[in-house]
Structure 1
Amino acid sequence: MDSKQLKEAIIDYSKSIGIDKIGFATADVFTELKERLRRQQALGYQSGFEKGTIEERTEPARLLPEAQSIIAIAIAYPSRMKDAPRGTKAERRGIFCRASWGVDYHVVLRDRLDKLAAFIEEKVPGAITKSMVDTGELSDRAVAERAGIGFSGKNCAIITPEFGSYVYLGEMITNLYFPPDSPVEDSCGDCRKCLDACPTGALVQGGQLNAQRCLSFISQTKDFMRDEFRLELGNRLYGCDTCQQVCPRNKQIDFHIHEEFEPVAEAAKPKLKPILSISNREFKEKFGHMSGSWRGKKPIQRNAMIALAHFKDQTAVDELIRVMNEDPRPVMRGTAAWSLGKIGTPEAFAAIESAMEAEKDDQVLYEMEKGLQFRDNARAN
């Protein structure tokens, strides 16, 4: 079996194991990406979640010395939730981004890549493969673009002709040679809807993202959130879909191909107040299957409090007072105090003033002062 025949056999097999799209690329150095990453690093635009050095992220041979080709895969996920629960004034809800709705995609894509690797090794004994999904050194998007999976849009997502940008990406480096596929033509044109819609201006320009301003990254941090981002977070608990939602290439795109990615509605769009008192065990039971749980409950709880403030949910005041007075974590106490001030009931302001007398942490006290500032501003106006 020559390389072309093997490639066709792999393509056929990939369809049988639930891979929606597959492409083949050379394992050459990603020279343009290397320069772009250096610029991003110099500008301070990286998230800090990136794995490996710039060289490891752009030179496949550093990860697999025998590298000849890279196989890229894409699997589609839904953009709409069937029978989505609706929030009410008494029970407000938050939202996880679509990429986190079902079973953790890392688990699913690794399974597909493992099966693909076993198939290749059966066909070519001695074949060497190295797979990765998202958390590996290589840039999934750069590989997918080179392999013809889709083009890299102005929103920095890979946009496929078939599934829009609602796809998970993974790749496999191998010592086997395959005829490479051709890249897909960029068709963003003059459109700039994603740039204009980004809540925080994280999309600096088409194809350039300042991750430090991206709500998707910010929602995963564990420290106090900057005030300007709190005002834009809305009811997001994890991630942000805005730049995908406004993309014309995603209009009417909604694929429910894989059962694993169907959301558990009460987990993907949960009630906010119960999150504030959720135990570690309960958090794992409810959210542990989702990729959005990887940072633990702390960011989700912080974001839930900010969401309650966004809704000015007066029914949450008692629970927020409890968090402010009893939670051992400064970020939780401080965010609760700020949220109480944003909600702005007399009871909330009185509770902040009372809590300040016992509070010792300077950052928490600062947040309490900011909470009371909402009252002072209202009086001044």
Structure 2
Amino acid sequence: MNTNQLKQEIIEYSKKIGIDKIGFTTADVFSELKERLKRQQELRFQSGFEKGSNEERTEPKRLLPEAQSIIAIAVAYPSRMKDAPKSTKEERRGFFCRASWGNDYHDVLRERLAKLESFIHAKVNDAVTKIMVDTGELSDRAVAERAGIGFTGKNTLLITKEYGSFVYLGELITNIPFVPDSPVEDSCGECRKCIDACPTGAIVQGGQLNAQRCIAFLTQTKDFLPDEFREKIGNRVYGCDTCQLVCPKNRQVDFHIHSEFEPEDDIAKPKLKPMLTISNREFKETFGHISGSWRGKKPIQRNAILGLGHYKDKTAVPELITIMNNDPRPVIRGTAAWSLGKIGTEEAFEAITKALEKETDVDVRYEMDKGLAFREVQASQK
């Protein structure tokens, strides 16, 4: 088997099936990553969404004993919406991050990799392969970096020369011993715009992220959002793009190559008030095809409630009162009470006071007290 010829054939085929960049690396241990993961655990900087042990995340042969090489792929996604819908005082909107625009990238990239896998198996009878996209044990970024697709920026995202950091990543582990590609040189230089712009200071230093403070992570949690982050989440209902948008490597980067990733106006930037009462079925039918729906509707609803509080949307007061009084979920009731206090109308304060008389959940009562405390803040500002 001529692996150099096969490698070239794979590269050519990848272009035909919608893969924008492809690179090859060895299945050697990711030693530097292993040490970094240990340090992240010691500092409690991990999100908790990570899959597998440090060994499984850094030793490809634990996932595929026959592993000799890893093929990394990157697929570009757009960074701008054409004619994006605007928020109005009557209809405030939230937004999903760009990585959640269009169809779920996990499905799209798995489909691309499955085609690549079939191509390889047709060429090599005894080929052994394993596909991963984001939810696998391996770090997509570390694999792509070593395979020469891009370099890791100070915002911890992979940055490519052609598409900036607006790329989805995936990989295919195989027993075929391909000649590896060379990594590209880090070119962030002295720039620290992403570090300075991060709303919560989650980028501790270049290349180190405290996921527990990252808005992208926080929007996916299901409990009460800690107070210090409630103002900073703004109208984000899922994810955060700040560190990408300020990056000079992303200036003028906006590729609309794949129709699957084109944003749908009312999904990428949904109206907030309808999110409060959407049923499970409606949520699945409307948002089930995007990656931002993977945690279900509860985090999205909580974030929508916070977004209405952020806007101080007085038109949302009746809906917020209704869910504060009737929603069976303490996090939703309590967050609604907090946002009502943030909006700060007399109707809102009276509703919180009345609801407090019958509320039995300790956490919700605490949120109601915090909502009522906004009245004292208002009085002190007059």
Code of the residue aligned with 1:180 in structure 2: it is P
For residues 229 and 235 of structure 1, what CA distance do their matches in structure 2 show? Answer: 12
Aligned residue type for 1:356: L
Look up the equivalent residue of 2:199 and give its one-letter code.
P
Q: 1:200 maps to which residue?
A: 200
Equivalent residue runs for 1:88-167 within 5 Å = 88-167=88-167
Is 1:349 equivalent to 2:349 in the alignment? yes
Q: Tell me the distance in 2 between the aligned counterparts of 1:207 and 1:124.
A: 39
- Structure 2 counterparts to residues 162-177 of structure 1, below 5 A: 162-177=162-177
Any idea what SS the aligned residue of 2:221 has?
coil
Give 1:318's aligned residue.
Answer: 318
- Long gaps (5+) in structure 2: none
RMSD of aligned Cα (Å): 0.5
One-letter identity of the residue aligned with 2:211: A
CA distance in 2, matches of 1:131, 1:285: 28
For 2:373, the equivalent position in structure 1 comes to 373
CA apart distance, 1:124: 0.3
Matches within 5 A, 1:215-234: 215-234=215-234
- d(CA) in 2 for partners of 1:321, 1:378: 20
Partner residue in 1 for 2:79: 79
Once residues 351 and 126 of structure 2 are traced to their aligned partners in structure 1, the CA distance between those partners, rounded to angstroms, is 68
Aligned amino acid, residue 254 of structure 1: D
Residue by residue over 1:137-166, the C-alpha shift from the partner in whole angstroms, topping out at 9 and shown as x without a partner, is 000000000000000000000000000000
Give the distance between the partners of 1:87 and 1:94, measured in 2 at CA: 8
User: Residues 46-96 of structure 1, C-alpha deviation per residue, up to 9 Å, x if partnerless?
Assistant: 000000000000000000001100000000000001121111000000000
Q: Which amino acid aligns with 1:331?
A: V
| Structure 1 CA distance for aligned equivalents of residues 131 and 39 of structure 2 | 27
Q: CA deviation at 1:106?
A: 0.1
Task: Tell me by how many angstroms 1:2 deviates.
Answer: 0.5
Letter in 1 for 2:204: V
Q: Spell out the pairing of 1:178-197 with structure 2 (5 A cutoff).
A: 178-197=178-197
One-letter code aligned to 2:341:
G
Q: 1:147, 1:356 → 2: CA distance?
A: 58
Q: Counterpart of 1:289?
A: 289
AA matched with 1:231: E
**In the aligned structure 2, how far is the partner of 1:17 from the partner of 1:128?**
21
**2:249 is matched with which residue?**
249
1:380 CA drift (Å): 2.9
1:379 and 1:166 map into 2 onto residues whose CA distance is 46
1:327-349 CA-to-partner distances (Å, cap 9, x unmatched) read 00000000000000000000000
- Give 1:6's aligned residue: 6
Gaps of 5+ in 1: none
Partner in structure 2 of residue 45 of structure 1: 45
- Paired residue total: 381
**Partner residue of 2:306?**
306
Determine the C-alpha separation between the residues in 2 that align with 1:2 and 1:179.
Answer: 11
Q: Distance in 1 between matches of 2:101 and 2:6?
A: 35
Counterpart residue identity of residue 55, structure 1: E
Identity level (%): 74
The DSSP-based 3-state class of the residue aligned with 2:135 is coil
- Aligned amino acid, residue 52 of structure 1: G
AA aligned to 2:380 is A
Residue 268 (str. 1) matches residue 242 (str. 2): no
1:285 positional shift: 1.1
Q: Which runs of 4+ in 1 moved over 2 A?
A: none
Q: Quick one: distance in 2 between partners of 1:2 and 1:380? A: 78
Q: How far apart, CA to CA, are the structure 1 residues paired with 2:379 and 2:273?
A: 29
